[in-house]
Amino acid sequence: MVDPFTIARRVQFAETDLAGVLHFSNYFRWMEEVEHAFWRNEALSVVMDGKDGRISWPRVSVTCDYFAPLHFEDEVELRFSVMSIGEKSMTFEVEFVHGGERVAVGRITAVCCATAPGSFEPVAIPTDLRRRLEALLRR
């Protein structure tokens, strides 16, 4: 089994709501933050230029389930895993872990698209990229 790609994040005061809890919208920002770190770790990017032009990964589904609150100064592990790869899409999961407990889990499905100014066209994931991603699938 492939270990998840992991980064640490600390809850900032500005990210909390009036109850002192991490605002729900920040979970989605953090999912994108760990995704970008994952791509950089693979010497890639969420927007890539390849032999067939520029591709990017627009989202088609995003969810997050919450199990316990996070508060100002809490340190959180964000564990990123590639869960599935389709012909034109991939789904990844982000586990939010604090003090050894899973406090939230998010999932994002993104579609590989040829990107031009103002347009997206779904395309098959390039073969070399597919192979790299398949090697990282959580089984």
CATH of the domain at 59: 3.10.129.10
Has residue 79 been placed in a domain?
A: yes
Asked if pLDDT for residue 115 goes beyond 90, the answer is no
Has residue 33 been placed in a domain?
A: yes
Has residue 40 been placed in a domain?
A: yes
Structural domain count of the chain: 1
Give the Cα separation of 6 and 81 in Å (integer): 9
Domain of 20 in residue numbering reads as: 5-134
Has residue 78 been placed in a domain?
A: yes
pLDDT per position as a tens digit, 27-38: 999 999 999 999
First-last CA distance in the chain: 6
Give the Cα separation of 134 and 132 in Å (integer): 6
**Which token pair is 35?**
């995704």
Strands 75-85 and 5-10: antiparallel
- Overall pTM > 0.75: yes
Has residue 36 been placed in a domain?
A: yes
Asked if pLDDT for residue 129 goes beyond 90, the answer is yes
Q: What is the pLDDT of residue 2?
A: 85
Q: Please check whether residue 43 is in contact with residue 32, taking contact to mean a CB–CB distance below 8 angstroms.
A: no
Has residue 139 been placed in a domain?
A: no
pLDDT per position as a tens digit, 52-78: 789 999 999 999 999 999 999 999 999
Q: What is the mean pLDDT of residues 9-20?
A: 96
